[in-house]
């Protein structure tokens, strides 16, 4: 279901939720074998049903671990799945906190799970974070759109017939990466994404969240509020570039449901506030694409900012992804 959210209401919600966001990270996020380097070229491989392989992919940031479930029938299309703000350094939470491997196990599409990117928003930063003595500059856009697809091409994976989805931090990134790299992506999806970071107050909410989650500095990422990088990495601002691309965006309303029961009261309260913010951002994105006459499926429902809801969202998106990639 969808509801109209006016400018005054949006500002009111932003003020309400801002207090929650400054106290908690933007996303609740949460194995695999030791990564090994791959040869320059191999025929497309097969993965044991429900499992994945670890690759070590060279990049300008150093070797990046990537978990891969190869296409079931040797096809060349791929789906990239991006983590949230707490992206672990040793695995993708998509592989541990959802059943996405099982959902796509019989499909002729390779699942690609980049590992890492903690508080990085999957973007190219201006410089290393100065507040935590980060050793290298994040170059995630470069990795995901140049280095990784070029590497996977050695396994027979297409550089052009890809889809991309993300949860929370990864949701906005999935849409903006698809917007700026239309030659690579044929579908984009955001689940509980903060898809309008250029809106006033958002940069301070992100500053607090990134300080809380790894002591990263938002100014080293995209500069001060109003810098061009904020608009470049804003899916709502870049909506025109998504015209003609199949899009699925979903969010909860912050009201807990049965899927929240295992997470405890404290986690659920945080997840409620975060999802209220995601709902507001999603409403602004929906209104923007509607004003531009760009078709997009945008779903609003009950739920909070937790992985079980994103598992359900990828299940809804799956037939759309397969259709866009021509593998359904």
Q: Which residues are catalytic?
A: 168, 275, 305
By the 8 A CB rule, do 166 and 81 touch? Answer: yes
User: Sheet of 64-69: strands edge to edge?
Assistant: 36-37, 53-57, 64-69, 110-114, 78-82, 162-167, 185-191, 247-252, 297-301
In angstroms, the CA 261 to CA 81 distance is 26
- Residue ranges of E strands in 207-271: 247-252
- Residue ranges of E strands in the chain: 36-37, 53-57, 64-69, 78-82, 110-114, 162-167, 185-191, 247-252, 297-301
CA torsion through residues 229, 232, 234, 237, sign: positive
Closest CA to 148 of 241, 212, 80: 80
For tokens 């400054």, name the residue.
22
Residue 218, Cα to own-chain centre: how many angstroms?
18
Residues 6+ apart with CB under 8 A from 290: none
For tokens 């497309």, name the residue.
44
For tokens 């030659």, name the residue.
183
By the 8 A CB rule, do 217 and 129 touch? Answer: yes
């Amino acid at each position: 279901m969808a509801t109209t959210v006016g400018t005054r209401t949006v500002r009111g919600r932003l003020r309400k939720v801002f207090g929650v966001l400054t106290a908690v990270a933007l996303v609740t996020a949460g194995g695999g074998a030791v990564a090994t380097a791959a040869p320059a070229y191999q025929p497309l491989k097969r993965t044991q049903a429900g499992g994945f392989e670890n690759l070590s992919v060279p990049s300008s940031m150093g070797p990046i671990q990537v978990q891969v479930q190869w296409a079931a029938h040797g096809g060349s299309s791929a789906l990239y799945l991006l983590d949230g703000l707490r992206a672990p350094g040793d695995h993708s939470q998509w592989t541990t906190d959802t059943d996405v491997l099982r959902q796509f196990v019989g499909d002729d599409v390779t699942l690609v799970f980049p590992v890492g990117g903690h508080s990085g928003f999957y973007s190219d930063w201006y410089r290393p974070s100065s507040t935590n003595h980060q050793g290298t500059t994040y170059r995630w856009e470069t990795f995901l759109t140049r280095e990784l697809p070029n590497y996977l091409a050695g396994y027979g994976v297409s550089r052009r017939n890809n889809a991309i989805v993300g949860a929370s931090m990864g949701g906005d990134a999935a849409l903006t990466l698809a917007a700026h790299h239309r030659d690579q992506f044929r579908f984009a999806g955001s689940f509980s994404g903060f898809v309008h970071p250029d809106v006033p107050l958002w940069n301070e909410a992100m500053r607090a969240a990134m300080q809380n989650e790894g002591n990263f500095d938002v100014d080293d990422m995209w500069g001060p509020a109003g810098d061009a990088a904020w608009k470049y990495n804003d899916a709502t601002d870049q909506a025109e570039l998504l015209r003609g691309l199949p899009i699925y965006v979903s969010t909860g309303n912050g009201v807990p449901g049965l899927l929240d029961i295992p997470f405890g009261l404290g986690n659920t309260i945080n997840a409620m506030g975060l999802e209220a913010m995601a709902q507001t951002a999603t409403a602004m994105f929906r209104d923007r694409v509607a004003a531009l006459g760009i078709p997009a499926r945008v779903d609003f429902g009950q739920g909070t900012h937790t992985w079980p809801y994103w598992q359900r969202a990828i299940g809804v998106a799956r037939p759309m992804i397969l259709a866009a990639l021509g593998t359904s």
